[in-house]
Structure 1
Amino acid sequence: MDLFHLQEEAHGSVFWHPKGYRIWRELESYMRRKMDGAGYREIKTPQVMDARQWEQSGHWGKYRENMFVIPDEVPNTEDEGPVISGEAQWMALKPMNCPAHVLVFKQGITSYRDLPIRLGEMGCCHRNEPHGALHGLMRVRQFTQDDAHIFCTEAQVVAEVQDFIALADSVYADFGFTYDIKLALRPEQRFGSDADWDKAEQELRDALTANGLEWEELPGEGAFYAPKLEWHLTDAIGRTWQVGTIQSDRVLPERLDAHYIGEDGDKHRPVMLHRAIFGSYERFIGILIEHFAGRMPVWLAPVQAVVATIVSEADDYARDVSAQLQAAGLRVETDLRNEKINYKVREHSLAKVPHLLVVGKREADEGTVAIRTLGAEHQRVMSLADAIA
């Protein structure tokens, strides 16, 4: 399908080819429409932040072994001497977006009337995974999340989680996935009080109950700062994949001193809900390739139609057909090669192109096309106008 490749010059990072990146772009556009419709506001945050920020958030102590750290200095360019001095302050590529989103929330004065605030980001992150743990698109070092954080009052938590559950359900249904939901509970090593963990875990249970859902509980499997709901998708051949998540967090707002002004005029801590649906674009695309066996839905296919000629006399007509299809918003390629039509049909079928429009001299004379839809037994002959419609 020629979608992407990986190579040792960039361990754990994906080189996206045009067709693969087209799938990415369509998914990104789809997710933006979903998030815009659900009241999220998109932001963009820095890739590199000072280690002091990660210390304050707790990630420097709990997560540093999985971070790419960078000295904050100009490297030595001379042939002799060390490249770095060893005396510089440390910075790090972000392994997640959440601390930066808190910093955005903290800009200005936030009133209880402004809540909930839903901040979304197609955020590129880096995690220093061991070479032996890397696995195609499923386990990478550089990845982009459909990430968002909801800042809300305690009274709003259950309703916000309910809304997210409904949003996630609509997305997974669009791709034909079924799923199970699991509730990951407090680990032994954690931040925050038992009282806060009690509240956070019960809020997630209450949201699930209100939505009429069943779930399995996983003791000890939560993040060090929050319990979480996990969506375990089942694909077309029965394999399961853990993808989406929402976490109810009272720890990070406290550690990073986030607050809003309540109705009483005093400062209050917001609850921070961390959530994602795809998880990462890289992994979700890998799951989709497996789920659809490479045969993407038409809206997601990198090439939606190929116009293939039987004889060279139809080349000009094929170009005109292609131009009209492109003008109608379709992603189209032409195949004017001097090859037998059966060869072309087989090649484009193996490439999982949804529609093949075959044209010869007769079709050119009559203004028609012969449409072969991937997986269909018979072709259909119709006017070009009807085909476009």
Structure 2
Amino acid sequence: MANEPIDQQLAMMRHSAAHVLAHAVTALFPGTKLGIGPSIETGFYYDFELPRALVPEDLPLIEAKMAEIVKQNLPFVKETVSRAEVEKIFAGQPYKLEVLADLPEGEDITIYRDGDFVDLCRGPHVSHTARIKAFKLLSIAGAYWRGDEKRPMLQRIYGTAFPTKAELEEYLKKLEELEARDHRKLNKQLDLFATPEELGGGLIIYGPKAGRIRTTVEEFWRREHYDAGYEILYSPHIGRGTLWETSGHLANYKDIMYSPMDIDGQDYYVKPMNCPFHILYYKSQTRSYRDLPLRWCELGTVYRYERSGVLTGLLRVRGFTQDDAHIFCTPEQMESEIAEVIRFSFHIWQTFGFKDYQLYLATRPEKAIGTEEQWQKAADVLRKVMDAQGLKYKIDEGGGAFYGPKIDLKVKDALGREWQMTTIQFDFNLPERFNMVYVGADGQEHRPYMVHRALLGSWERFFGLLIEHYAGAFPVWLHPVQVAVLPISDRHLEYAGNLTRELKAAGYRVNLDDRSETINQKIRQAQLDKIPCMLVIGDKEIESGTVSVRLRTGEQKFGVTPGKLLEGLNAAVRERATNLAL
């Protein structure tokens, strides 16, 4: 099955809206230099070099001008012109001339006009501007010309367009929800992580609350992996350049590796991946077919140089911890091992509350190692495993790793967005490059097969997903503070302290709020922190030996015994429930 493209009619309308945007901007800001303006999955954008910096207040003005142009019902007129004519038309447009220079000689060159505006474009467009029914400008951002940090920074205006106003309104409501769930915004409220400018872009410091969550996730992850037959390895953060030459990373991946450091006259690199280290451990002794499969995993921190323009909170960083694993097996074991990894992936994601996924089979990219025949055989194995399990999947043409095809599992969050997380990669190249062998039953040396596998993908991206999926209201078993104990006044502190110690002894993360604040202020703070369970302690509770429970869902229970409370907490943790039920 092929990837489902954006509806072509919708894409054409959005691309036309981008032209109308450029028409409006050039009319309002004489001297504007035009970049490019494509349609994208969520709408469209256009890049400009402008006489001044735009501010949010400019968007309604530009939008109003666009509405005027749409109302005029101007036809989009296509013209095929010579290279010399284009150079004349865009004499004052250096970015358009650069695009022109990249067009192959002999290829038809087309321009589109709507009214007195003209743009260099292949099209297609709708017939008239009035066919752009419902549109909205959304935001302003900076964008390096052609994504190159060494090129000029342009101003990008994002917008969206839909066939009807109702669809546009529905989308705008969804955007409001997305903004409310943005992990960067929620982080300001919840105090989970920091990205200090002094540290450098794409590098994260996690605070105590995030540390609690990460520890809980890692403890679960390790226990599940041991139960599934994995062993845990630890590897260093750097390795000699010759290691990365053998692996092929320097030839195929160098652009996003950090610069080498000279140690004893040799180049060393911080690791962009963990796989070569696991291979070296495999090669540290003779392996027999009786040893296979070997399932080795590692929570290994790797470093990749991402351009500053694409860094995004926790979702795109330069230092991240992969929940990495490598499986070394015989050819006969390959299918069952991949099938088990898929089952294991579903189990892990369901535990975290994600039950909606989409599988993709990613095929050979343009930059790859290995023969076409090897790639086809490997892809056939992955396809066969998914077909045998009756799994539906799409084809991601050219989306494979440079060393082999892969299965990608994208999970859907509470808002229906797909997130690229789990990856299961078939690798026939690294075993050859590192001359990996095992002794078979025939006493001869054979080449093992290798599977690269990450279930959560990386802690950083997973944590960003987790924050946004639950809007910061983490499930009871994951929340950094599961219970807040809130004494009304100082005379209630002793009872509150005893209860806090009892809950901590039972293994729960508890915060005793003994500040000299009103009970309403304490409750408000606990609600802002999205703590699942709040226990209010006053005279009545001390007299009856009970607690008053307030849940973050708004539910309240009075006269709850500590025993009943523990039953509810135990059930919520055991069942991995989002909220406590009493």
TM range (shorter): over 0.9
How far apart are the structure 1 equivalents of 2:535 and 2:274?
45
Partner of 1:116: 293
SS in 1 for 2:260: strand
Pairing 1:9–2:9 present? no
How far apart are the structure 2 equivalents of 1:47 and 1:9?
22
Pairing 1:366–2:556 present? no
SS in 2 for 1:34: helix
Q: Does the 8 Å contact 2:193/2:210 carry over to 1? A: yes
Q: How does 1:225-304 map to 2 (within 5 A)?
A: 225-304=403-482
Worse-superposed segment, 264-273 or 189-198 = 189-198
Q: Does the 8 Å contact 1:311/1:361 carry over to 2? A: no
Tell which has more relative contact order, 1 or 2 (C-alpha 8 A, sep 6+). Answer: 1
Q: Does the 8 Å contact 2:424/2:452 carry over to 1? A: yes
How far apart are the structure 1 equivalents of 2:203 and 2:463?
14
How far apart are the structure 2 equivalents of 1:204 and 1:265?
29
1:50 Cα deviation (Å)?
A: 0.3
Pairing 1:135–2:312 present? yes
Q: How does 1:155-170 map to 2 (within 5 A)?
A: 155-170=332-347
1:264 Cα deviation (Å)?
A: 1.5
1:382 Cα deviation (Å)?
A: 1.3
Whichever residue aligns with residue 198 of structure 2, its letter is E
How far apart are the structure 1 equivalents of 2:510 and 2:273?
37
1:340 Cα deviation (Å)?
A: 2.1
- CA deviation vs aligned residue, 1:301-359 (integer Å, no higher than 9, x gap): 00000100112210111111100000010000101222222222122111110000110
1:54 pairs with 241, 244, 258, which one?
A: 244
Q: Does the 8 Å contact 2:500/2:512 carry over to 1? A: yes
How far apart are the structure 1 equivalents of 2:224 and 2:414?
24
How far apart are the structure 1 equivalents of 2:304 and 2:298?
17
1:221 Cα deviation (Å)?
A: 1.2
Q: Does the 8 Å contact 1:22/1:302 carry over to 2? A: yes
Q: Does the 8 Å contact 2:322/2:457 carry over to 1? A: yes
Q: How many residues align?
A: 376
1:155 Cα deviation (Å)?
A: 1.0
SS in 1 for 2:253: helix
Partner of 1:216: 394
1:111 Cα deviation (Å)?
A: 0.5
Which of the two has higher C-alpha Rg? 2
Pairing 1:104–2:281 present? yes
Partner of 1:21: 211
Q: TM-score, normalised by structure 1?
A: 0.94
SS in 2 for 1:182: strand
Pairing 1:37–2:227 present? yes
SS in 1 for 2:299: strand
Worse-superposed segment, 241-250 or 367-376 = 367-376
How far apart are the structure 1 equivalents of 2:437 and 2:559?
65
Moved over 4 A (4+): none
1:174 Cα deviation (Å)?
A: 1.4
1:72 Cα deviation (Å)?
A: 2.6
Q: Does the 8 Å contact 2:195/2:202 carry over to 1? A: yes
How far apart are the structure 2 equivalents of 1:340 and 1:133?
45
1:276 Cα deviation (Å)?
A: 0.6
Pairing 1:126–2:297 present? no
- CA deviation vs aligned residue, 1:205-247 (integer Å, no higher than 9, x gap): 1111122201001111111111000011110011110000000
SS in 1 for 2:443: coil
Whichever residue aligns with residue 28 of structure 1, its letter is E
How far apart are the structure 2 equivalents of 1:135 and 1:103?
34
- CA deviation vs aligned residue, 1:100-153 (integer Å, no higher than 9, x gap): 111011111101111100010010101111222211100111110110000011
Partner of 1:201: 379
Cα distance change on mapping 1:189 and 1:65 into 2, 3 Å:
closer
Whichever residue aligns with residue 564 of structure 2, its letter is D
Q: Does the 8 Å contact 1:325/1:332 carry over to 2? A: yes
Q: Does the 8 Å contact 1:69/1:90 carry over to 2? A: no
Q: Does the 8 Å contact 2:252/2:367 carry over to 1? A: no
Q: TM-score, normalised by structure 2?
A: 0.63
How far apart are the structure 2 equivalents of 1:130 and 1:8?
15
1:380 Cα deviation (Å)?
A: 3.4
- CA deviation vs aligned residue, 1:178-207 (integer Å, no higher than 9, x gap): 110000001232111222112110110111
How far apart are the structure 1 equivalents of 2:564 and 2:403?
57
Q: Does the 8 Å contact 1:151/1:270 carry over to 2? A: yes
Partner of 2:22: none
Q: Does the 8 Å contact 1:356/1:373 carry over to 2? A: yes
Worse-superposed segment, 38-47 or 335-344 = 335-344
SS in 2 for 1:146: strand
Q: Does the 8 Å contact 1:185/1:221 carry over to 2? A: yes
Q: Please list every run of 5 or more consecutive structure 1 residues that lacks an aligned counterpart in the other structure.
A: 75-87
Q: How does 1:79-94 map to 2 (within 5 A)?
A: 88-94=265-271
How far apart are the structure 2 equivalents of 1:187 and 1:67?
19
SS in 1 for 2:415: coil
How far apart are the structure 2 equivalents of 1:355 and 1:248?
45
How far apart are the structure 2 equivalents of 1:40 and 1:69?
33
How far apart are the structure 1 equivalents of 2:353 and 2:263?
50
SS in 2 for 1:379: strand
1:28 Cα deviation (Å)?
A: 0.7
Whichever residue aligns with residue 8 of structure 1, its letter is E
Identical positions, percent: 44
SS in 2 for 1:199: helix
Worse-superposed segment, 56-65 or 336-345 = 336-345
Whichever residue aligns with residue 133 of structure 1, its letter is V
How far apart are the structure 1 equivalents of 2:541 and 2:468?
37
SS in 2 for 1:9: coil
Whichever residue aligns with residue 4 of structure 1, its letter is F
Whichever residue aligns with residue 42 of structure 1, its letter is I
Partner of 2:370: 192
